[in-house]
Amino acid sequence: MKPFVLNNPLIEHKLSIIRDKKTGTKEFREIIGEIATFLCYEALSDAKLEEVEIETPICKTKAKKFNEDKYAFVPILRAGTGMLDGLIKVIPNAKIGHVGLYRNEETLKPVRYYYKMPKDIANREVIVLDPMLATGGSACDTITMLKEDGVEKIKFLCIISAPEGLKKIEELHPDVQVFTASIDEKLNEIGYIVPGLGDAGDRIFGTKE
Compute the Cα dihedral for 109, 166, 195, 86 and give only its sign. negative
**Type of residue numbered 115:** Y
Q: Is 112 a catalytic residue?
A: no
Angle between helices 25-43 and 9-19 (to 10 degrees): 150
**Type of residue numbered 85:** D
Say which of 23, 78, 149, 199 is annotated catalytic: 199
pTM score, two decimals? 0.91
Q: Is 207 a catalytic residue?
A: no
Cis omega before residue 29 (within 30°)?
Answer: no
How many residues does this entry show for the chain? 209
> 87 with 138: CB under 8 angstroms?
no
> What CATH number was assigned to the domain covering residues 4-205?
3.40.50.2020
Classify residue 16 by its DSSP letter: H
pLDDT digits (tens, 9 = 90+) for 100-130: 987 777 777 778 899 999 999 999 999 999 9
What number is the average pLDDT over the span 146-150?
Answer: 95
pLDDT digits (tens, 9 = 90+) for 151-178: 999 999 999 999 999 999 999 999 999 9
Say which of 25, 37, 103, 149 is annotated catalytic: 103
Spans of all domains in the chain: 4-205
Say which of 25, 202, 203, 207 is annotated catalytic: 202
Q: Is the predicted pLDDT of residue 208 greater than 70, yes or no? A: no
* Average pLDDT value over all residues in the chain: 93
What number is the average pLDDT over the span 23-36?
Answer: 95
Q: How far apart are CA 191 and CA 162, in angstroms?
A: 10
Q: 17: exposed, middle or buried (C-beta count within 10 Å: 0-12, 13-18, 19+)?
A: middle
